[in-house]
Amino acid sequence: MNMDDLKLSCHELSLPVTEKCNPISRDIDRVNGKQMVQILRRCDAEIFEKKDHDPFHQRLYSSAVIQTMVDVAKRVEMMLRDPEESVIVLSGCGTSGRIAFLLTSFNEMMKAQKQKQICSYIIAGGDRAMLTSQEAPEDDPALGAHTLEKICAGKKHVLFIGISCGMSAPFVAGQLDFCLQHLDIFTPVLLGFNPVHMARSEPMQGCSFHFKDVAERMTAEQRHEKAFVLNPVLGAEAISGSSRMKGGSATKIILESILLAGHEAAFRGKRTTPECISGWITASEMVYETTYSHSDELAALIHQAGESLRMKAHVYYIGWGTLGIIGLTDASECVPTYGADFDDIRGFINNGFREMKNKEGDLSCLGPEFVIGHKDFVDTILPSLSQNDMVLFLFAVNDDLHEVTALADQVRRRTSNLHAIAHDLEKFTIPETVCNMFGTILRITWPFSSEEVNSVVMRQRWELSTKWCLNAISTGAHVLKGKVYMNYMIDLRVSNSKLYTRAINILQRFTGCSKSECVRALLRAIYSTEDLSEDMTSADVWKHTDAANRRDRVVPTALVMIQCGCTLTEARHHLDCHPVIRDAVNACFNSSKTKSTVD
Ligand code: F1P
């Protein structure tokens, strides 16, 4: 191993698991759609990996993790038995908040039993964060605590589940800290995917403690069963740091298992045991196997979506019910993850906000990103739809198939680039006439009985399956468009402190330079100057992210400046000559290699 390789692996070792580079997907930017599906399949398989493959970390199936899930499920049971005085709050930022919102569909199970609906969600930045990225509130611990306090006013028992995949979000840390100060009322649970010693230890706005302190205090309280830390390791994400993928899926799997087990115990007298928890996880593993067994159709959909994006056309997800929410979520995440325009990949749901049932109601007046109904699609998009635009329907056999057929008919009059992801049952299948309306149809016929047709459980499995498919399609399409270099999204928006740290890590990773050199280059790009003033260098991270949020291509600019030893203007010129980020980075590495050979 030479010195550079050694430096690189030391740097990689210092990163938390959720920020590491996954060796499985190192070449994802150089493969075709079919190979991409296999890479994503192997990365997702790590969610379910047994502990024997990884002696160093707790995994999802580890007995300690399962036992903590049992303990938390018992708390859910207690809350359900005393609904008047209790509330279960699920909270997170970005994807974690969106999954929290989705999980409140658990209320439907209580409604079906004429029980009080006690599940509530918090997403940093409010409901608008469901469709657009509101990353600045994520950095505000006081805002997190205040929002939680408000929602729980008057309750005697609160089960608070704070989700932060990277164990890093200050908003969630503030809430957990608040719970730890009021353990008579609150039982806090931290859900994340790093060992506690890898939780973030950088300062937080206006706070004397950091995330890791909170995680350690939580661990100490766990000994008295006053708090719980659920932090199995899932392996690195397929696109480094993109916790919307494995992190989001595992959040859904873990919390659904806990809520269902608690529900079964409270209403069906079924005691929660480690066996029943691992049974729920195994059911999700079956969903994983079944979904990826349709790899040919998935590869075809990735290819198609990649073509649309490459031609600067659009991908539209047209979903029904909660599958529509999965579509909206996946589409909106492409903006912060890939620097996409909001209309590159866009989601629509039947009945718009009425179907979402979010707390703040209809947000359509907030701007075009919030226009989400099928009717809006028909009125505003359909008239100008072109053959290059891809339309992808997301539905299940118990959705209104007349509505599906009628809308598909309308779309087909404008384009044949119409495809679907559809779920049905062995005893209750979607008619062939409906299936034949789509070019590629990824149709999964699930082996459940027809009594389960309306059950929340089955819907949750279809949601998970659709999430895996859409994550693969939107990730694959952006990789094919050239947005990713190796398995790094280099052109990330540096809009909060976690992403600021990731930007510096990426620069260190690719240039081999010291942290301080990388910070300087990043700040030059952020403040658009060759001469950094004292004010700029001494400002805190939040000032940097505020400025960076208003500027494009900051990380690629810094990377080119360091690698080619050039000025800001030269770096920007280089990037202008190579609009595809992967080509720009490649060219920059090639030119610096030639330069050093000549030198
Ligand atoms: C929260 C989050 C991510 C988002 C981006 C910024 O992360 O909003 O969902 O994709 O990376 O951070 P976490 O708190 O769950 O780690």
Neighbours of 7 (CB within 10 A): 16
Q: Name the residue with the closest Cα to ligand 1, atom 2.
A: 94
Distance CA 318, CA 422 (A): 12
Structure tokens at 399: 């959705």
- Predicted pLDDT of residue 113: 80
Distance CA 176, CA 228 (A): 11
Substitution candidate for ligand 1 out of 17, 19, 93 with most atoms within 8 A of CB: 93
The pLDDT confidence band at residue 231, using thresholds 50, 70 and 90, is: very high
What's the rounded mean pLDDT across residues 538-552? 91
| ipTM of model | 0.96
User: If you measure from the C-alpha of residue 166 to the centroid of ligand 1, how many angstroms do you get, rounded to a whole number?
Assistant: 7
- Predicted pLDDT of residue 270: 94
**Higher-confidence position of 454 and 527:** 527
Which residues partner with 317 through β-bridges? 347, 392
Asked if 495 and 549 count as a contact pair (C-beta separation under 8 A), the reply is yes
Residues 6+ away with beta carbon under 8 Å from 249: 44, 47, 464, 467, 468, 471
**Higher-confidence position of 4 and 471:** 471
- Predicted pLDDT of residue 4: 63
Q: Residue 355's closest CA among 409, 316, 317, 319? A: 319
User: If you measure from the C-alpha of residue 114 to the centroid of ligand 1, how many angstroms do you get, rounded to a whole number?
Assistant: 35
101 φ, ψ (degrees, to nearest 5): -60, -45
- Predicted pLDDT of residue 599: 42
Direct distance between the N- and C-terminal alpha carbons of the chain, in angstroms, rounded to an integer:
24
Residues 6+ away with beta carbon under 8 Å from 154: none
Atom number of ligand 1 nearest to Cα 166: 16
Q: Name the residue with the closest Cα to ligand 1, atom 8.
A: 94
- Predicted pLDDT of residue 56: 81
Pocket, ligand 1, Cβ cutoff 6 A: 92-96, 135, 138, 164-166, 168-169, 243-244, 498
User: If you measure from the C-alpha of residue 245 to the centroid of ligand 1, how many angstroms do you get, rounded to a whole number?
Assistant: 11
Structure tokens at 431: 């008619």
Q: Sheet containing 315-319: give its strands across.
A: 345-349, 315-319, 390-396, 418-425, 441-446
CA atoms within 13 A on the CB side of 96: 28
Query: One-letter amino acid identity for 71?
Result: D
- Predicted pLDDT of residue 382: 97
User: Is pLDDT above 70 for 594?
Assistant: no
Substitution candidate for ligand 1 out of 95, 204, 501 with most atoms within 8 A of CB: 95
**Higher-confidence position of 344 and 1:** 344
DSSP calls for 485-533: BTTB--S----SHHHHHHHHHHHHHHH---HHHHHHHHHHHHHT-SS--
Structure tokens at 126: 């409010």
Atom number of ligand 1 nearest to Cα 124: 8
CA atoms within 13 A on the CB side of 443: 19
Span of 167-176, 464-473, 578-587 with lowest mean pLDDT:
578-587
What's the rounded mean pLDDT across residues 14-20? 94
At 367 the three-state DSSP class reads coil
Q: Residue 405's closest CA among 379, 375, 429, 432? A: 432
Atom number of ligand 1 nearest to Cα 172: 14
What's the rounded mean pLDDT across residues 429-457? 86
The pLDDT confidence band at residue 590, using thresholds 50, 70 and 90, is: confident
User: Is pLDDT above 70 for 595?
Assistant: no
Burial status of residue 398 (CB atoms within 10 A of its CB: 0-12, 13-18, 19 or more)? middle
Residues 6+ away with beta carbon under 8 Å from 139: 170, 171, 204, 205, 496, 497, 542, 545
Q: Name the residue with the closest Cα to ligand 1, atom 12.
A: 94
User: Is pLDDT above 90 for 317?
Assistant: yes
Mean pLDDT, the chain, whole residue set = 93
Q: Name the residue with the closest Cα to ligand 1, atom 13.
A: 164
User: Is pLDDT above 90 for 436?
Assistant: yes
User: If you measure from the C-alpha of residue 94 to the centroid of ligand 1, how many angstroms do you get, rounded to a whole number?
Assistant: 5
CA 267 to centroid of chain Cα atoms: 32
* Domains of the chain, CATH where assigned: 63-272 (3.40.50.10490), 282-485 (3.40.50.12620), 490-594 (1.10.8.1080)
User: Is pLDDT above 90 for 82?
Assistant: yes
Q: Name the residue with the closest Cα to ligand 1, atom 5.
A: 94
Structure tokens at 414: 């404008």
> Could you give the percent of the chain with pLDDT greater than 90?
82
What is the chain's alpha carbon radius of gyration, rounded to the nearest angstrom?
A: 24
550-561 pLDDT, tens digit per residue, is 888 999 999 999
- The alpha carbon torsion through 299, 304, 310, 312 (nearest 10 deg) reads -150
DSSP calls for 420-472: EEEEEETTBPPPHHHHTT-SSEEEEEE---GGGTT-HHHHHHHHHHHHHHHHH
Neighbours of 14 (CB within 10 A): 12
The pLDDT confidence band at residue 598, using thresholds 50, 70 and 90, is: very low
The pLDDT confidence band at residue 17, using thresholds 50, 70 and 90, is: very high
The pLDDT confidence band at residue 8, using thresholds 50, 70 and 90, is: low
What's the rounded mean pLDDT across residues 422-446? 96
What's the rounded mean pLDDT across residues 125-146? 94
- Predicted pLDDT of residue 579: 77
361-391 pLDDT, tens digit per residue, is 999 999 999 999 999 999 999 999 999 999 9
User: If you measure from the C-alpha of residue 243 to the centroid of ligand 1, how many angstroms do you get, rounded to a whole number?
Assistant: 6
Atom number of ligand 1 nearest to Cα 167: 16
Atom number of ligand 1 nearest to Cα 247: 15
Asked if 508 and 493 count as a contact pair (C-beta separation under 8 A), the reply is no
Angle (nearest 5°) at CA 379 between 378 and 380: 100
User: If you measure from the C-alpha of residue 446 to the centroid of ligand 1, how many angstroms do you get, rounded to a whole number?
Assistant: 32
CA atoms within 13 A on the CB side of 407: 29
The pLDDT confidence band at residue 28, using thresholds 50, 70 and 90, is: very high
What's the rounded mean pLDDT across residues 324-347? 94
Distance CA 337, CA 163 (A): 19
Asked if 585 and 556 count as a contact pair (C-beta separation under 8 A), the reply is yes
Distance CA 574, CA 592 (A): 13
Atom number of ligand 1 nearest to Cα 169: 14
Atom number of ligand 1 nearest to Cα 333: 10
56-75 pLDDT, tens digit per residue, is 889 999 999 999 999 999 99
Atom number of ligand 1 nearest to Cα 18: 16
106-119 pLDDT, tens digit per residue, is 998 888 888 899 99
Q: Where are the alpha helices (DSSP H) in 32-140?
A: 33-45, 63-81, 95-103, 107-112
Helix H or strand E segment including 315: strand 315-319
Does the global pTM surpass 0.80? yes
User: If you measure from the C-alpha of residue 96 to the centroid of ligand 1, how many angstroms do you get, rounded to a whole number?
Assistant: 7
Length of the chain, please? 599
User: Is pLDDT above 70 for 592?
Assistant: no
What's the rounded mean pLDDT across residues 217-240? 97
Structure tokens at 355: 């179907």
Position of tokens 């909106």? Answer: 332
